[in-house]
Structure 1
Amino acid sequence: MAPQSLSSLLQRASIDDHEEVLRSCNAALAKSKSDPHAQHIKAVALLKLDRYEDCLRVFEEGGDTLKKRAGLEYAYALYKCSRLREATEVLSRVASDRGARHLEAQVTYRSEKFRRTAELYEELAKDHSSIHNEDNDLRINAWAADSQLQWKGYPESIRHNRPTRDDLEAFETVYNAACLSIAKGEFGQGEMLLKRAKELCRTSEDLTPEDRAAELLPIAVQQLYVLIRQGKSEEAESILEEISVNEISELSTRKIAQNNITLVRNTTANPFLLYKDLHATPDSTNNDRLFNFQDNIVLGNVHSVDLLVQKYDGIIRSTSKALSQSPYPSAEPHINLLSVHNAAAHAQGQTGTKGLKAILSALENRPKDVGLVLTAIQLYVTAGNTTSAITTLERSLRALDESNSELDKEVRFNPGLLSVLVSLYKLEGRKLQIRSELSKAATYWQERSKAPASLFRAAAASLLHSSDRADLTKSGDLFKTLYQKDASDRFAIAGYVASQAPLDYAKIEAQVDSLPAVGDLIADIDVSALESAGISPSSSATAAAAAAIAGARKRSSAHKDGRATKRIRKSRLPKDYDSSKKPDPERWLPLRDRSTYRPKGRKSKQRAAERTQGGVVNEKAEEPSAPVQQQKPQGGGSSKNKKKKGKR
């Protein structure tokens, strides 16, 4: 029968003879199309030959029976064809053995669900039933997951800090550790680890010359990026000799290399050459595509050069189409980046008031578009108009507040957007508004499971400065939430004590004892050494010293009765000033109002007499005056008969 002949064939075939296995399976299936054993072996052979689309067709022909029998192989074929959601669903029905968990980790990694990926690798590492050399693979992949977590913005979920001695033995682990340092912004550490990875790769005896060259290329491309970020242009140009873009097999790595090489070679003088170089590499697909944070940077560069060559209509069409297919509003970087380039295309290279006019017009149609709002704010701030920037952002937030959509509320209280508003408020010293916004955001996130700890810390610290009892209570609740997540967080403990001490000191007596004493915190600080080294005293100490000096001066110049003598500068004294003479007390009065004033002349004496109390009253002068009527000219007959005098 077909299964028996196939089994005998497999016993004689070598493990690499997948083509012959495939031919035998086809021959067996030609006699019996529904043979599940032959279908299963054919699917495995196709996977070995990297023919993943053909493998999926076998599973479709085999139906649910084959998919259930070979669930792991089916999920792997879906993963290789970049059908990640379907692969995840299949794996949820597969028995949770080590192979399934390894595959799930790969699927979640490619889906950019890095938290789940890190959890899976941690579970596999704790399970001691590992196979040969699996520990090394787990270590490599765990470092890769941590690197992606840092890029994604989840530093609290990272499980590695510094590479151990075992980590430094394999170039793959060292390379991933370098990527984590680069994601943290530690470019010096990243550069050192990349050099170490390159050295280990060159001296590895497990690699063929072809494999060694293929592994060195991504390391060199990463080195180029680090040198660019550090501004080491000469060293970056020397690295270019090690990079041959056409020899890079992965399209995603090739595109990154082409992007960075173009920047190093400084082709920005001619935007059309820059456009040609950045579009030289085609976009990658399936599992070879760029991650989101990489794609955002590359896409931003491509759209920027499109603006330089004035492809405004093309950018408007492409970005508008992508925005219409994306959720609105959204806090995702790649969506808001599309809005920014769409706004720049509408402005057509104009800046200042003209550019802002075009962007505000687009913002009227999409008032909740975060990318457009941030672009308008940036232009306002650049022009020094912070008030209009705040008004624009508040108008968009008000539109989000009025919505009942959960998506709108999540964008409304997005920590990044909130930080922009708080920064603008700080520029104008609006402390009450800062406290109010942080309080509302903390209230919203307290009801959600994925609450940002950084927002809680900022809100709790801001409410701590309020004198309102309700604000202090809320601040204490936030600090308590932070403490429950991390019992070693001294900031949370100290904040909770500070917030509850004015309300109920007995409630926090136990926490007070757990805080370090002030003397212990400053025990190793030599104040004299700091001052001698050029460190000036704090502002409060300086103010206290100034007050003490001022007080000493006041006490030394005071009268016996305690009143202070006002010190007058010499420049404000008259030239003939004599301190021994008593100044005239009427010197501030007008001359005619002084008691020593004596008018001169008859009219002056008459006015003085009239002003004198008890003098003779002039009755005619007291009569009310009437308007004087204009009189007609007299004599010479009628004015109508008079000839007008001509010009002489």
Structure 2
Amino acid sequence: MTAAVASAAQSLSSLLRQTSLDDHDEILKAANGALKKSKTDTGAQLVKVVALLKLDRYDDALRVLEEGGDQLKKLAQLEYAYALYKTGDLQKAEEVAKEAKGLSRGMTHVEAQATYRLEKFAQSLSLYRELAQQPTEVENEENDLKINTGAADAQLEWAGYGDLVHKKRPSRDDLEAFETAYNAACGSIARGELQQAEFLLQRAKDLCNAAEELSTEDKEAEIVPITIQQMFVLSRLGKTEQAEKLGSEINAANISDPTTKKFAQNNILATNLPENPFLAQRLFNETPELPKNDLPFSFQSAILRQNGYALDLLSMKYPGVARSTASFFENQPCPTTSPSVNSASVVHAAAAAQNQVGKAGLQEILRVLERRPNDVGLILTIIQLYLLTNNHGSAISLLESFFKRLETSTSEADQDVRFAPGLVGLLVSLYRVQGRKAHVRTEFAKSASYWRQKSTAKAPASLLRAAGAALLESSKPEDLTLAGEIFDDLLEREPNDAFAAAGRVAAYSTIQPEKVHSEAAKLPAANRLVPSMIDAVDLEEGGVPRAPAPPVGAGKKRPADETNKPAVKKRFRKSRLPKDYDPSKTPDPERWLPLRDRSTYKPKGKKGKQKAAALTQGGVVTDKVADAGLEPAGVEGKGKSGGGGASSNKSKKKKGKGNKW
């Protein structure tokens, strides 16, 4: 121990002897008194920092640490990292905690908390699991680790990394404390298991009310977030009346925590939106600015921002929404698959079109696309508008041209967007609507090859499964070989995957049967997949219709009993019959033809007879017809005159008669 640290320890012990350990205000006064005598007393500075942290005065504690210099920061590394974490400087808190991680168990706790708030949930979960494998040093630390691990699992589900979560189902231990039950409910919500989440949230509320170690004020503070989450689940389940009833029980004005107050006000408005959009907008913006050390996570911020934009659009503040979303895009990558960015793009499109749909709205949004041709949100919006008008061809053309632009890019991020499973699935769905099976297989083959070449571990399992199943429909050896390789990768990732095992056998059975001969025998037999009570023979005999066998020598003629049946007379409505209709007379079969096309038609006069003879296609052209200058119908005129096939030898005008104007 150095002389400086020894001196600090002596000063610290003398201060602690003067005060009570439970009274942090008195400790702070004693530390200030010692610092008046010697401002460079490191021990007194350390005591002051600890007292300020105990009193939740984190900004003051950080200020003392910064003023104390590197010597004080080195002596109080844990306190320094914790103060940085509580004041919202998460990146620096993680760096300090990581540098001094081996010095104490508390440093690992601070690093895990900082990475959790930085939305590095996988790293945070790994740190909590590391702590859980070591012996605990503080009372109730094991329970805290269980709660924090459950929170990290739930956040991984929300972030779309559910494959990293080991625990998918709530256990009996999760139902023993309201914190673990609440975290299990959040994980169920992220997976879409709303019925289970409803039960877990009610269980969490009951456990909180029954907790004897909590005061009445603490219970009320803990129950508010549970109730807010219940409102969300009930509204998603369609139980609007129950959600409104819960909202009426919450008084948002009495909630002290600004973040909780913001979520409460949002959910109350979502379940019971006022008819006046300007009133709803004012209520939504009543909450103050959220503190830096307790900001919502990105997916929560995206929902709040989108709800605010929706209220602005209802209030017809189109220019303001367009400017706000445009400024938001300035610091965001493009293209991207980020839900928050793409949802803002949809809002920007709605503002540009002023909430119009159809051709008018589409025309305005296409102008925006000219300025942002690689905006995924805009492209999806336009595709949706095309589909509403049943214009699948334009939707496919737009998405294909977007993919071609990304394929020419050298950016790895652009390639990830090009082969994003959601966008690939959209194009495949559009192809299937038009029956373009070859295009479906080609797109799946390209996407699967890209992800397998990049990294098998990063390849989305859902995309690989869909690609393998689609390629099995092809008879080309190269497609079947690729399908087999895809199923090999899936089996390497999950050896007990029955779907991948069956797909592998189906892929190699025609091109390399010796490769899967032993594996084919392990697949379940067909009779095991059919329920035992179903008899295929009985179904065929009793349920499948069969055509009656014709008698020998009868050929394809009808049976005699059908041909001898009397014809059924047709009944006509009186309103459709002519006035002079006589049922005893046979109707004229040519009554539907024009008069000049009927066989009974006789033209009147000399010109009429000549014209009728000329209109007979293929007939003999008599001299009279030729003299009249007429030609058979359907034959192009060959006379010297211009257009109508008339003779060039026109009759001369009579003398003494001028033109009539």
Q: Paired residue for 2:417? A: 411
Deviations 1:517-546 (A, max 9, x none): 333333x442269x9xxxxx7xxx799945
Deviation for aligned residue 1:322:
0.8
- Is 464-473 or 275-284 further displaced after alignment? 275-284
CA change 1:237–1:495 in 2 (3 A) is same
Residues 497 and 512, structure 1, Cα contact 8 Å, conserved in 2: yes
Q: Paired residue for 2:649? A: 630
SS in 2 for 1:476: helix
Q: Paired residue for 1:121? A: 128
Residues 11 and 43, structure 2, Cα contact 8 Å, conserved in 1: no
Q: Paired residue for 1:95? A: 101
Q: Paired residue for 1:297? A: 303
Q: Paired residue for 1:609? A: none
Task: From 203, 207, 221, give the equivalent of 1:200.
Answer: 207
Deviations 1:30-88 (A, max 9, x none): 45444443333332222222222222233323333333333222221221122222222
Q: State the distance in 2 between where 1:507 and 1:487 align.
A: 17
SS in 1 for 2:398: helix
Q: Paired residue for 1:375? A: 381
Residues 88 and 107, structure 1, Cα contact 8 Å, conserved in 2: yes
CA RMSD of aligned residues (A): 3.2
Residues 476 and 500, structure 1, Cα contact 8 Å, conserved in 2: yes
**Residues 1:234 and 2:236 are matched in the alignment:** no
Deviations 1:432-465 (A, max 9, x none): 1111111111111111342211111111111122
**Residues 1:511 and 2:519 are matched in the alignment:** yes
Residues 329 and 370, structure 1, Cα contact 8 Å, conserved in 2: yes
Deviations 1:88-118 (A, max 9, x none): 2222211334322222221122112222222
**Residues 1:216 and 2:235 are matched in the alignment:** no
Q: Paired residue for 2:440? A: 434
Matches within 5 A, 1:492-641: 492-522=500-530, 524-527=531-534, 545=544, 549-550=546-547, 553=549, 556-557=550-551, 559=553, 564-565=556-557, 630=649, 639=655
Normalising to structure 1: TM-score of the pair? 0.82
Deviation for aligned residue 1:646:
8.9
SS in 2 for 1:527: coil
Deviation for aligned residue 1:265:
2.6
CA change 1:52–1:504 in 2 (3 A) is same
CA change 1:318–1:28 in 2 (3 A) is same
CA change 1:17–1:528 in 2 (3 A) is same
Residues 217 and 242, structure 1, Cα contact 8 Å, conserved in 2: no
CA change 1:403–1:566 in 2 (3 A) is farther
Q: Paired residue for 1:611? A: none
Aligned AA (2:141): E
Q: Paired residue for 1:146? A: 153
Q: Paired residue for 2:575? A: none
Deviations 1:468-527 (A, max 9, x none): 2121111111111111111111111111121112122222233234333333333x4422
Q: Paired residue for 1:472? A: 480
Task: From 389, 397, 400, give the equivalent of 2:395.
Answer: 389
Q: Paired residue for 1:246? A: 253
**Residues 1:317 and 2:326 are matched in the alignment:** no
CA change 1:629–1:500 in 2 (3 A) is closer
SS in 2 for 1:354: helix
Residues 283 and 289, structure 1, Cα contact 8 Å, conserved in 2: no
Aligned AA (1:176): N
**Residues 1:456 and 2:464 are matched in the alignment:** yes
Residues 20 and 26, structure 2, Cα contact 8 Å, conserved in 1: no
Task: From 251, 255, 264, give the equivalent of 1:257.
Answer: 264
- Is 373-382 or 296-305 further displaced after alignment? 296-305
- Is 16-25 or 143-152 further displaced after alignment? 16-25
Deviations 1:158-216 (A, max 9, x none): 23233333321211111222222222222222222222221211121100111111111
Q: State the distance in 1 between where 2:520 and 2:535 align.
A: 30
CA change 1:235–1:507 in 2 (3 A) is same
SS in 1 for 2:14: helix
Q: Paired residue for 2:595? A: none
Deviations 1:316-336 (A, max 9, x none): 111101101111111101111
- Is 503-512 or 203-212 further displaced after alignment? 503-512
Q: State the distance in 1 between where 2:253 and 2:49 align.
A: 33
Q: Paired residue for 2:494? A: 486
Q: Paired residue for 1:282? A: 288
Q: Paired residue for 2:50? A: 44
Residues 444 and 467, structure 2, Cα contact 8 Å, conserved in 1: yes
CA change 1:629–1:129 in 2 (3 A) is closer
Q: State the distance in 1 between where 2:59 and 2:343 align.
A: 34
Residues 12 and 43, structure 2, Cα contact 8 Å, conserved in 1: no
SS in 1 for 2:516: helix
Q: State the distance in 2 between where 1:126 and 1:300 align.
A: 42
Q: State the distance in 2 between where 1:125 and 1:226 align.
A: 32
Q: State the distance in 2 between where 1:303 and 1:166 align.
A: 42
Identical-residue share of aligned pairs (%):
47
Q: State the distance in 1 between where 2:318 and 2:168 align.
A: 45
Q: State the distance in 1 between where 2:70 and 2:488 align.
A: 52
CA change 1:468–1:185 in 2 (3 A) is same
Q: Paired residue for 2:584? A: none
Q: State the distance in 2 between where 1:243 and 1:254 align.
A: 10
Aligned AA (1:386): H
Q: Paired residue for 1:610? A: none
- Is 491-500 or 377-386 further displaced after alignment? 491-500
Q: State the distance in 2 between where 1:543 and 1:494 align.
A: 32
Deviation for aligned residue 1:369:
0.3
Where structure 1 has 5 or more consecutive residues not aligned to the other structure, the ranges are 532-536, 576-617
Residues 11 and 44, structure 2, Cα contact 8 Å, conserved in 1: no
Deviations 1:384-433 (A, max 9, x none): 11111111111111111111111111111111222221221121122111
Q: State the distance in 1 between where 2:209 and 2:313 align.
A: 42
Task: From 162, 175, 183, give the equivalent of 2:190.
Answer: 183
CA change 1:60–1:508 in 2 (3 A) is same
Residues 20 and 27, structure 2, Cα contact 8 Å, conserved in 1: no
Q: State the distance in 2 between where 1:442 and 1:34 align.
A: 65
Deviation for aligned residue 1:566:
8.1
Aligned AA (1:333): P
SS in 1 for 2:101: coil
- Is 199-208 or 228-237 further displaced after alignment? 228-237
CA change 1:249–1:558 in 2 (3 A) is farther
Q: State the distance in 1 between where 2:245 and 2:358 align.
A: 40
Where structure 2 has 5 or more consecutive residues not aligned to the other structure, the ranges are 1-6, 569-619, 630-638, 640-646
Q: Paired residue for 1:107? A: 114
CA change 1:303–1:544 in 2 (3 A) is same
Deviation for aligned residue 1:363:
0.7
Residues 422 and 434, structure 1, Cα contact 8 Å, conserved in 2: yes
Deviation for aligned residue 1:352:
0.3
Matches within 5 A, 1:15-94: 15-94=21-100
Deviation for aligned residue 1:263:
2.7
Q: State the distance in 2 between where 1:437 and 1:543 align.
A: 44
**Residues 1:164 and 2:171 are matched in the alignment:** yes
Q: State the distance in 2 between where 1:178 and 1:632 align.
A: 102
Q: State the distance in 2 between where 1:81 and 1:558 align.
A: 97
Deviation for aligned residue 1:252:
2.1
CA change 1:490–1:644 in 2 (3 A) is closer
Residues 146 and 158, structure 1, Cα contact 8 Å, conserved in 2: yes
- Is 55-64 or 467-476 further displaced after alignment? 55-64
